[in-house]
Amino acid sequence: MKALVTRLDSFGDVLLAGPAVRAVAARADSVTLLCGPQGAPAARLLPGVDEVLVWESPWTGLQPPPVDREDIDALLAAVAATRTDTALVLTSFHQSPLPTALLLRLAGVRFIAADSEDYPGSLLDVRHHRAPHAHEVQAALDLAAAAGFPRPDDGRLRVLPPPPADGLTGTGRYVVVHPGASVPARAWSPARCAQAVRELAAAGHRVVVTGGAGERDLTAYVAAGAALDLGGRTGAAELAGVLAGADCVVTGNTGPAHLAAAVGTPVVSLFAPVVPAERWRPYGVPYVLLGDQHAPCAGTRARQCPVPGHPCLDEVTGHDVVAAVGKLVEVA
The tens digit of pLDDT for each residue in 150-185 reads 999 999 999 999 999 999 999 999 999 999 988 888
Average pLDDT, integer, range 43-60: 97
The tens digit of pLDDT for each residue in 76-125 reads 999 999 999 999 999 988 889 999 999 999 999 999 999 999 999 999 99
Give the global pTM. 0.95
CA 59 to chain centre: 18
- 48 vs 70: CA distance, rounded Å: 30
In this prediction, residue 196 carries a pLDDT of: 96
Positive or negative CA dihedral for 166, 218, 317, 278? negative
Cβ neighbours of residue 69 closer than 8 Å, sequence gap 6 or more: none
Residue-range domains of the chain with CATH: 2-146 (3.40.50.2000), 166-331 (3.40.50.2000)
Is the CB of residue 5 less than 8 Å from the CB of residue 47? no
C-alpha torsion angle, residues 114, 120, 124, 125 (rounded to 10): 110
In this prediction, residue 183 carries a pLDDT of: 82
